[in-house]
Structure 1
Amino acid sequence: MAGHSKFKNIMHRKGAQDKKRSGMFSKLSREITVAAKMGLPDPDMNPRLRAAVNAAKAQSMPKDNIQRSIDKASKGDAENYEEVRYEGYGPSGVAIIVEALTDNRNRTATNIRTAFSKNGGNLGASGSVAHGFERLGLIEYPASAGDEDKVMEAAIEAGAEDVQSDDDGHQVWTSIDSLHEVAKALETSLGEAEAVKLAWKPNLEVAVAGDDVGTLMKLVDALEDDDDVQTVWGNYSISDEELEKLG
């Protein structure tokens, strides 16, 4: 088990920044619909759907919107979305993984390639950066869930593999297979999580400083602003001092 470690820079500025994303509810709705279509429309019987619903609730998405997204899948009214992953490099050689749900691969690929090329990066081939990450389960809790020791103890008892805590909250890492089992156990001891999802955890981080910080943030923002993009992961680390310079 790892102890205190900053994670907030690995998945770009969550919280307040997430709320500024264009079409957030649209993205959440798309994931809910896809999850419901791929399995049962009952969150208790469909781990992916449960995670999607929890994510929507964490962003204060109205219950009616959530149910409407599930109903679309149940009634066969949903669009056919395809899961696509893109990999590339940003400023300072940062490795970036982009996950999307799209009904038009050509449109999405063009948009992603443009975002990279206009913001100091380049889109790579499939598998070009994924080898530098681990595919794991991630359970996120706010700082209010308890101190580091309390969360660590609960995570160990639940069967988690690792815990990282900072001022923003706690990240509990698990194997993919045990994600929902661990999440269910933690819900009993810590309450409902902010998010339960599959994640890309970098094996090594790249420190970014100077002008590359602003360029990298513009790249990540451009990717996240695309309607088809669901998540953006990177192996970058930025100091608080560098982030403060951005305002």
Structure 2
Amino acid sequence: MAGHSKWANIQHRKGRQDKLRSKLFSKLSKEITVAAKMGDPDPDKNPRLRLAVKEAKSNSVPKDVIDRAINKASAADGENYEEIRYEGYGPNGVAVIVEAMTDNKNRTASTVRSTFTKSGGNLAETGAVSFMFERKGLVVYLADAGDADTIFEHAIEAGAEDVESSEDGHDIYCADTDLHAVSTALESALGESESTKLIWKATTSTEVDFEGAEKVMKLIEALEDDDDIQVVTTNMDASDEVMAQL
């Protein structure tokens, strides 16, 4: 029975991972479609589409799925997605930014509001928490791309603003408007990045203990479980010990 139970747990985890992978592919495909519809369907002539395709490839999205997402942009019966940003406060007053792409604003707003309420948080007006964040470009390289000094030199030369290096890798930050140029320059010097995208970087953080972090993570998971939600960002600050327990 113990063996069976262990196998069941493994299967459950695999099922969860497969579900998350499927949702990730769906969200990345949606970003590709919207980027292609807003500009040129050729990634070389459309910086946003190029970044979307690059991010999809770095997450192992198959080429046929990427091509289908691009072609969907020119389809006459294709969905029209609208980009919306929601802002609010989660448990313990943690600031939360939710980025969505939806074909039904009322449905998405209702779901987001309900999810915040169930978590003990509340949805706020646009601008209520975004002042605690900066819009930045982020290029990520694995640790084996080079040592901290080498990466820093290449990053500054490419036009980046800051680099955070750890044993896990290198996070290179730049102005949001410079992401295309910086990532292209870094690619020439260091090769393909692990990830290239626009993010909200917290300038003010809210510290939480294990219980608080657990509640915030449940809110994030509930929001990300919705197909309309693309990205959830918080200013939660939890210790390494707390994060290891989650």
Same fold (TM over 0.5): yes
> Relative to 1, partners in 2 of residues 1:55 and 1:63: Cα closer, same or farther, differing over 3 Å?
same
Partner AA of 1:185 in structure 2: A
Q: CA deviation at 1:72?
A: 1.1
Partner AA of 1:144 in structure 2: D
Partner in structure 2 of residue 23 of structure 1: 23
Q: Does the CA contact (< 8 Å) of 2:213 and 2:236 recur in 1? A: no
Partner in structure 2 of residue 213 of structure 1: 213
Partner in structure 2 of residue 197 of structure 1: 197
Q: Give unpaired runs (5+ residues) of structure 2.
A: 1-15
> Relative to 1, partners in 2 of residues 1:167 and 1:20: Cα closer, same or farther, differing over 3 Å?
farther
Partner AA of 1:103 in structure 2: D
Partner in structure 2 of residue 12 of structure 1: none
Q: Does the CA contact (< 8 Å) of 1:136 and 1:176 recur in 2? A: yes
Distance (whole Å) between structure 2 residues aligned to residue 27 and residue 89 of structure 1: 24
Q: Secondary structure at the residue paired with 1:74?
A: coil
Q: CA deviation at 1:241?
A: 0.8
Partner in structure 2 of residue 7 of structure 1: none
Partner in structure 2 of residue 10 of structure 1: none
Q: Report the number of matched residues.
A: 231
Partner AA of 1:172 in structure 2: I
Asked if 1:132 corresponds to 2:142, the answer is no
Q: CA deviation at 1:121?
A: 1.3
CA deviations over 1:12-51 (Å, ceiling 9, x no partner): xxxx989836621111110000000001011111111011
Residue identity over aligned pairs, in percent, reads 58
| CA RMSD of superposed structures (Å) | 1.8
Q: CA deviation at 1:124?
A: 0.7
**Larger Cα Rg: Structure 1 or Structure 2?**
2
Asked if 1:173 corresponds to 2:173, the answer is yes
Distance (whole Å) between structure 1 residues aligned to residue 179 and residue 76 of structure 2: 29
Q: CA deviation at 1:149?
A: 1.5
Asked if 1:80 corresponds to 2:80, the answer is yes
Partner in structure 2 of residue 96 of structure 1: 96
Distance (whole Å) between structure 2 residues aligned to residue 240 and residue 94 of structure 1: 18
Q: Give unpaired runs (5+ residues) of structure 1.
A: 1-15
> Relative to 1, partners in 2 of residues 1:68 and 1:21: Cα closer, same or farther, differing over 3 Å?
closer
Partner in structure 2 of residue 151 of structure 1: 151
Q: CA deviation at 1:195?
A: 2.2
Q: Secondary structure at the residue paired with 2:120?
A: coil
Q: Does the CA contact (< 8 Å) of 1:143 and 1:170 recur in 2? A: yes
Higher helix share: 2
Distance (whole Å) between structure 2 residues aligned to residue 225 and residue 18 of structure 1: 13
Q: Secondary structure at the residue paired with 1:20?
A: helix
User: Structure 1 runs of 4+ off > 6 angstroms?
Assistant: 16-19
Q: CA deviation at 1:210?
A: 2.9
Asked if 1:235 corresponds to 2:235, the answer is yes
Distance (whole Å) between structure 2 residues aligned to residue 131 and residue 19 of structure 1: 34
> Relative to 1, partners in 2 of residues 1:165 and 1:19: Cα closer, same or farther, differing over 3 Å?
farther
